[in-house]
A and B are shown apart, each in its own frame.
Chain A
Amino acid sequence: MTQNEETRSPLPLWRFAVPLLLQIGLILVSPAQSVYTHATGKTVILQTIPVDPYDPLRGYSQTLSYDISRLETLKKLPGWQEISKQQKSKNVDYLESGTELYVVLESPPDGAKQPPLAWKPVKVSSSSPTSLPANQIALKGRGAANMIRYGLETYYFPESQQQEINQAIMQAQRGQKQSLVVEIKVNEGGYGVPVSLWVRDRNYRF
């Protein structure tokens, strides 16, 4: 038998209840930061890089990459020189894995438009920027191979809507560039969570 002799007499309830409560705690703590950011964060719109029309959404989630995930985008911004100077490699086209950086995003002048316009990256810095104006916010990212990750790269959606969203994205991408944007929320620490997908004027929120 898989248990020992001592436990033959009924175990007191707390022996079961204490680890169960710990397990419930573990379940609840993992999404805590996301829930908090969802509730208190500031809404920001990010421009995605167009997804491959022949290989769109698969399975239950979409791997998104953004304009600001690309080194080419960030390299043009003020503050990039500072970050690349701190690296061992003198190559400006390369960001060492794990390097932390903050991207400051500025809201477009016409912020209330529907569908919303993407925020513009205005500068990068290696430390959390202080005293930003009200129309700007800092998003924290980390270098990963030849791109930057923000923890916003996976968006889960129901499989049943896969076909529909795929169609919408394919149609939208034939048109203008600004067709696929992602609405996120960002907290004071620069931590972001994805909230919804905008494909042209349609909003998908799961």
Chain B
Amino acid sequence: MTTDKFRSQLRQEVEVWRTEGIINDSQHEQLAQRYQFNTLDTSSRNLFVTVLIGLGCILIGLGIITFVASNWQELSKSFKVLLLLSLFVIVNTTGFYIWRKSNESSQRLGNGLLILGALTLGANMALMGQIYHVNNPFYELMLAWGIGVLAMAYSLRLTSLSMLAILLIWIGQWGFAINNLFDNSWLYQKLSWSSLLGEHMPILACIMFIPLAYLCKSRWIFAFSAIAIVSALMGNLYFYSYGIGRLFNLSTLQISGWAIALFFALPPILLWSYDDFRENRAISKSFKAISQNLALIYLAGIFYSFSFYSLWANLSRESSQTDLLKVNLFSLISLLVLILIGVWKWVRLGQKMTRHRPLRSQDLTTIVVGLMIGITALIPLWHTYIAPIPELATFAFNALLFLLSIGLMREGLTHGQRRAFWFGLLLLICRILNWFFLANTGLLIKSLVFVLCGVGVIAIGLWFEKYVRTFGNPTN
């Protein structure tokens, strides 16, 4: 897709070429046809008109808001409600009718109005609470708002609204998790719509968000959903692990071992084994790639953050006992379903592998990733169940980090993938620098290491860039 700016520059250049005789009139005509120089003026005019309309709408909106604000207190409650609702309906309906038109600029404007409508929904809900002095937690507002926007996103299949909905529900979920963490109220949580939604968010998010990515055929939505699902899982892990603790009557240390093992293993298990639905194979091949990339990034993050000794050393003390009998076991269903999905997916991966003999290179990668996940899950369990192994755990995580970064660099080299190569290199350098920062070494040695790292990065980077160019596959 060429930009308007490029086309207008090209038009000027082409004029110069023709006057200088580099190209003849028919070639000029062909170029004009190809880059549609004749639509340049109208498209920039259209953009100008859109901007003007947008600006006008904002000003009118501000005018209405100030007018209402000046008399807001004198209005009766029901009139306020009526006013808010009609504003909401008008913005959305105008947006929908403009968006439905076939030309591109009005679709953009309509889309903008629909987003404004979605924001008005939140404003309406918040103001309603204020008018009637409702004391509900903030996360309930976010969850309800997100669900409202999600319904519209599903119906209109709009990427922008989908992203907004996922973001809102994501904020709501974290609000719920943090709220529960701080006053321990998850132990005494009364069953309500928001607690149900919050506790089962990992599985509900799969159901709510992933089909949307297919409907909108959007890789962005898929990536957002995957992140939202994983983070919902992370937010809820502590009460899932308390549930496990109640089931098997574990000590607090063992419970934290389970929490960390699940935290390490479950997201990459699910992300790596994600496969597309058959009907959408054509577009969703890319979904699988996104998911696997996210799994690798997640693993890299885990390896990096747990490659420090102090974290493991602190993890061998018992903390105060929580009353496990009050833990709600119902929320474990969500965890169980996810674990089952993960296991089933990996069994499928294994079956696929046995069908191809000899092993393909991506099968080999899968085996390595699987082993890495297995080790990360085993270490915290060993650490808390059998004997504390802070030194070994630190060593293992460092080794895994180096293995992963070397693997990424190798992958980058063999397939000429810039991003994989640089990510691996960055990971390696960061870890080495961190090592020397924390270690008790003299400034002179530190400076030497910095210089060596810098020289190394430049040398390897230059060599790689040259290699990639000669490799003849400079994309990606």
Contacts and interface: CB of A to CB of B under 8 A. Distances in A.
Interface string B349-375: 000000000000000000000000000
Nearest to B147: A26
A2 B187 CA distance: 43
A132 interface: no
Interface string B52-88: 0000000000000000000011000000000011001
A154 interface: yes
Contacts of B135: 151-154
Interface in B130-181: 130-136, 141, 144-145, 147-148, 151-152, 154-160
A24 B200 CA distance: 25
User: Interface residue tally of chain B, by bracket?
Assistant: 35 or more
A22 B147 CA distance: 10
Contacts, number: 126
A168 interface: no
Interface of B: 72-73, 84-85, 88-89, 92-93, 96, 100, 102, 104, 107, 111, 121, 124-125, 128-136, 141, 144-145, 147-148, 151-152, 154-160, 183-185, 187-190, 215-217, 323
B102 A27 contact: no
A35 B132 CA distance: 7
Interface stretch (A75-83, A93-101, A113-121, A169-177): A93-101
B107 A3 contact: yes
Given A88-B323, A97-B183, A98-B189, A23 B133 contact: no
B84 to A, nearest CB: 8
A20 B185 contact: no
A11 B100 contact: yes
Contacts of B144: 26, 30
Given A99-B188, A155-B133, A27 B125 contact: yes
A151 B192 CA distance: 15
How would you classify the secondary structure of chain B's contact residues: helix, strand, loop or mixed?
helix
Interface of A: 1-4, 6-8, 10-11, 15-16, 18-20, 22-24, 26-28, 30-31, 33-35, 38, 60-61, 88, 96-100, 144-145, 151-156, 158, 160, 193-194, 206
B89 A31 contact: no
Contacts of B151: 18-19, 22-23
A61 B135 CA distance: 11
A6 B158 CA distance: 12
23 contacts: A4-B215, A8-B102, A15-B156, A16-B93, A18-B155, A20-B89, A23-B88, A23-B151, A24-B85, A26-B145, A26-B147, A26-B148, A27-B128, A30-B129, A31-B128, A31-B131, A31-B132, A97-B184, A99-B188, A154-B133, A158-B72, A193-B132, A206-B73
